[in-house]
């Protein structure tokens, strides 16, 4: 995983956060093992550009007045509507110690069951936790799904074996599954309508016919 540099400034927690954000900076905190938590802020445009280019698990060298701190983004909070970054948690790391991070699963190809038999691919797990050295963090996990037929899938145990990388997940968990296309069942006709349709037709005389019958003279003997 690539290492990048990002300048950070100490932040006064007594100051209004909205004022800080309006100035183009994101409030953040830096913490970790054997590290005293420090409230900081970083430039919003530079940080987002860095994440979009290098990925969420990029190793960041935070440049502070008292030195450089190596970290990764542990959590990025966003505004629920605008998705603008609200707060960042930077976790201190050692390049010699393994860490656990979430990595995206990327599918390659189109399943045979989807392409030739009208099935649907279900992506059950989109990110998976891995344990490895910071320098070995993969940008993504590529999974070839082209051979999957209807009713077949890929579990955590089937994921590519990457050198010095351990999947921290139940091995039997389904990652990707190919399902048969659902066939809509015909709804049964309404019982009342059916009964009406099956009932015999009844033809009755109208009032005028009945009156006519009553008024007709009796037949002569």
Pick 100-179's CATH classification: 3.40.50.720, 3.30.70.920, 2.170.120.20, 3.10.129.10: 2.170.120.20
Neighbours of 99 (CB within 10 A): 18
Q: Which of 50, 49, 52 is nearest to 61 (CA)?
A: 50
How far is Cα of residue 68 from the mean position of the Cα atoms in its chain? Answer: 34
Q: Which of 2, 100, 103, 101 is nearest to 50 (CA)?
A: 2
pTM check: above 0.75: no
Query: Which part of the chain has CATH 2.170.120.20?
Result: 100-179
Q: pLDDT per position in the chain (221 positions), as tens?
A: 678 999 999 998 888 888 999 999 999 999 998 888 999 999 999 999 999 999 889 999 999 988 899 999 999 999 899 888 999 999 999 999 999 999 999 999 999 999 999 999 999 999 999 999 999 999 999 999 999 999 999 999 999 999 999 999 999 999 999 999 876 655 555 555 555 555 555 444 444 444 444 444 444 44
Q: What stretches of 44-155 adopt beta strand conformation (E)?
A: 59-64, 67-78, 85-92, 99-108, 120-123, 127-132, 141-144, 153-155
164 Cβ contact list (under 8 Å, min separation 6): 132, 133, 136
Q: What is the CATH number of domain 3-93?
A: 2.40.240.10
Partnered with residue 32 across adjacent β-strands are 35
Q: Which of 38, 23, 27, 16 is nearest to 87 (CA)?
A: 27
């Amino acid at each position: 995983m690539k290492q990048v540099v990002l300048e950070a400034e100490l932040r006064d927690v007594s100051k209004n956060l909205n004022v800080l954000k309006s100035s183009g900076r994101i409030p953040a905190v830096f913490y970790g093992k054997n590290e005293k938590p420090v409230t900081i802020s970083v430039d919003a445009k530079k940080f987002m550009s860095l994440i979009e280019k290098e990925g969420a698990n990029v190793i960041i060298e935070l440049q502070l007045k008292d030195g450089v701190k190596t970290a990764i983004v542990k959590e990025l909070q966003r505004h629920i509507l605008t998705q603008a970054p609200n707060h960042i948690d930077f976790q201190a790391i050692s390049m010699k110690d393994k860490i656990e991070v979430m990595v995206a699963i990327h599918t390659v190809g189109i399943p045979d069951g989807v392409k030739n038999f009208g099935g649907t691919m279900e992506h059950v797990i989109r990110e998976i936790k891995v344990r490895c050295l910071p320098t070995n963090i993969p940008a993504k996990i590529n999974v070839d799904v082209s051979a999957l037929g209807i009713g077949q899938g890929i579990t955590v145990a089937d994921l590519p074996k990457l050198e010095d990388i351990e999947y921290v997940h139940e091995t039997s968990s389904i990652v990707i599954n190919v399902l048969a296309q659902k066939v809509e069942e015909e709804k049964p006709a309404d019982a009342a309508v059916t009964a009406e349709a099956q009932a015999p037709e009844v033809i009755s005389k109208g009032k005028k016919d009945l009156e006519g019958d009553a008024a007709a003279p009796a037949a002569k003997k």
